[in-house]
Amino acid sequence: MSWKEVWGSHGGRIAGVTFGIFLGLIYLISGFWDMLFFALVVFIGYTLGKRKDHAQAPLFQWQEFVQWLSGRWRPFK
């Protein structure tokens, strides 16, 4: 299996875990007990990357939120 095939099928997870490790290492500088937070950040990165790989819907519908927010703020313009 070549790197392109691995990246094509698991690119989101790889990028998510890499980003999670990066953020986790930055946070780990402050102490040992923050390892739990580090694991949480890596898990969140993996989960978001997995959702991208499987082309699942985003967890938060930004367009609906923007429409709702613009409708609520319209009277103040």
pLDDT per residue as tens digits for the range 25-73: 877 776 656 667 777 888 888 888 888 888 777 666 777 878 887 877 7
Closest by alpha carbon to 12, among 58, 42, 45, 38?
45
pLDDT per residue as tens digits for the range 4-32: 888 888 888 888 888 888 877 877 776 65
